[in-house]
Amino acid sequence: MRRPHGVTGRLSAYGTTIFAEMTALAVKHGAVNLAQGFPDFDGPEFLKEAAAGSMRAGHNQYARSHGLPALNRAIAESWKRSSGLSADPDTMVTVTSGCTEALAAAFLGLIEPGDGVILLEPFYDSYHAGVSMAGGVVKAVPLHRGKDGEFRLDPAELRSAVGQRTRAIVVNTPHNPTGKVFTRDELSMIASLCVEHDLLAITDEVYERLTFDAAFPHVHLATLPGMAERTVTLSSLGKTFSVTGWKVGWAIASPELSRGVRAAHQFLTFATSTPFQHSAALAVTPGGPGDGYARQLRADLREARDFLHAALTDLGFGLGRTRGTYFILADHRPVSGRIRAGMTGREFCRWLPEHAGVAAIPASAFYEHKELGEPLVRFAFCKTMETLREGATRLRRSLK
C-alpha cells in the first residue's frame, strides 16, 4: 500500500519547533519574549546602509555559488586574525545562507547514510534533524551539569561513544543553550580523540565573538594539533552584527572538505543573497566598522547577562555562569516547585507567558534524552535593558 502523503519519516519526529510554539504563546499573552534568540534591537546603520546601497547599485542577481569574492576574502582575513590560520578564500571558504545551511551542507556533503555523528547534548535543534536528513545516525553524549551549575563533558563517556562507523563529532562553542565556552583542555581532549579515530569535527562557532570572561576566551578547534585538515568551522553574521534575519553564514575547511560542503550547497540554495553579501564583506573585514560594533555589542551583552543573572538568582533559579552566547540556562525547580511540585520545563514554560507575562524555552528541546533537560529552561538576554527590566519586574511580581 502507498504511504499517505505528508511529512517523511525522517522529519516527522521533529514536529514544529518549540521556538515557534513559545513565540506564539508570547504573542497571544503579550509576554516579554525571552524565548527566541534574536535581538529586539536593530543591527548597525553602516550595515543597513551598505545593504541598501548595494541594492541601489544593482547588485541584485545571483552571486558566485561559493560566495562573493570580496566576502570570501574578508572571511579569510578575519579567520587569519582570530585563528592565525591561513584559508585560501577561493577553495576553503564557502558562503552559505546562515549557519543553518552550512550545517545542512556539511552533513549532506560529508556524511554517508549509516555514518555515526556524535552530538553533545544539549545541542542546537537543527543538528539532529540535519544529521537525519543526511541519513546519519546520532549518538548523543551529555554535558553533565555540576553542583556549581557548570556543564562538563565526561572524557570516558565521549570515548565510549566512538564506534566503528563514527564519522564526525559536532562541537558548538560558545555553546547554546548552556552559555559554556569550551576550554583549551576540553577541546584538546576532543581533538586527540578525533585524530586517534580519524573523525571529522564540525564546529559551530556562531557566537565566537560573544564571550564575556577573560578567563574563558574562545578557542577555535581547528587550531589544535592535527585538526586544521579535519575540521569544518562554521559561523555566521547574524549573532555578531544583530541581523539574524539576513541569514549569511559560512564554512571554512580544507579544499577537500570544502568540496563536500559545496557539493550540497550548490543544490540547496546555489548562492546566498547578493546585496547582503556585499554588506557582510564590510562588516567582517578586520579593521572595518564591524570591529567597533562587535566590541560594543559584547560590552552591552555582558551588562545584560549580569542583570538577568542577578534577577534570576534573586528569584531562586539555580544558575551556572554564562561565559558566552546570549543565553542563561536555569534550573527552574526551586521556583516552579512553588507553583506545583514536579512541574516539567515544558509545563513551566507553557505556564509562564499566561501567568507571568514572560516567555522562555524548555531545555528539553535541546536534548535527545528529554528527561535530562526537564529541570532546565533557557532565557535569552539579547534584549534592550528596558525589555530585560520589564521581564524581571514581571517575574518578580508573579514568582516571588
Between 66 and 105, how does the x/- string for binding to ligand PLP read (CB under 6 A)? Answer: --------------------------------xxx-----
Q: Which of 132, 176, 231, 258 binds ligand PLP (CB under 6 A)?
A: 176
Dihedral sign (CA 155, 157, 158, 159): positive
CA distance 186 to 118: 16
322 contacts ligand PLP (rule: CB under 6 A): no
Q: Is 84 exposed, middle or buried (0-12, 13-18, 19+ CB in 10 A)?
A: exposed
- At closest approach, how far in Å is the CB of 114 from ligand PLP? 25
Q: Which of 109, 130, 142, 238 binds ligand PLP (CB under 6 A)?
A: 238
Maximum Cα–Cα distance across the chain: 63
CA distance 359 to 378: 10
Residue at shortest CB range from ligand PLP: 98
233 contacts ligand PLP (rule: CB under 6 A): no
Beta bridge partners of 99: none
244 contacts ligand PLP (rule: CB under 6 A): yes
206 contacts ligand PLP (rule: CB under 6 A): yes
124 contacts ligand PLP (rule: CB under 6 A): yes
- At closest approach, how far in Å is the CB of 124 from ligand PLP? 4
Are 398 and 353 in contact, with CB atoms under 8 Å apart?
no
173 contacts ligand PLP (rule: CB under 6 A): no
Q: Is 192 exposed, middle or buried (0-12, 13-18, 19+ CB in 10 A)?
A: middle
357 contacts ligand PLP (rule: CB under 6 A): no
Of the pair 126, 254, the CB lying nearest ligand PLP is at 126
Q: CA distances (Å), 161 to each of 121, 128, 222, in order? A: 13, 16, 22
Residue type, 226: G
Of the pair 35, 227, the CB lying nearest ligand PLP is at 35
179 contacts ligand PLP (rule: CB under 6 A): no
Interacting stretch for ligand PLP, rule CB under 6 A, among 66-74, 76-84, 244-252, 349-357? 244-252
- At closest approach, how far in Å is the CB of 96 from ligand PLP? 8
211 contacts ligand PLP (rule: CB under 6 A): no
Phi, psi of 335 (to 5 degrees): -95, -50
Q: Is 341 exposed, middle or buried (0-12, 13-18, 19+ CB in 10 A)?
A: exposed
CA distance 349 to 35: 9
- At closest approach, how far in Å is the CB of 127 from ligand PLP? 8
CA distance 268 to 334: 45
203 contacts ligand PLP (rule: CB under 6 A): no
249 contacts ligand PLP (rule: CB under 6 A): yes
Between 21 and 40, how does the x/- string for binding to ligand PLP read (CB under 6 A)? Answer: ----------------x---
Nine cell digits for residue 385: 535593558
Site for ligand PLP, rule CB under 6 A: 37, 98-100, 124, 172, 176, 204, 206, 236, 238, 244, 247, 249
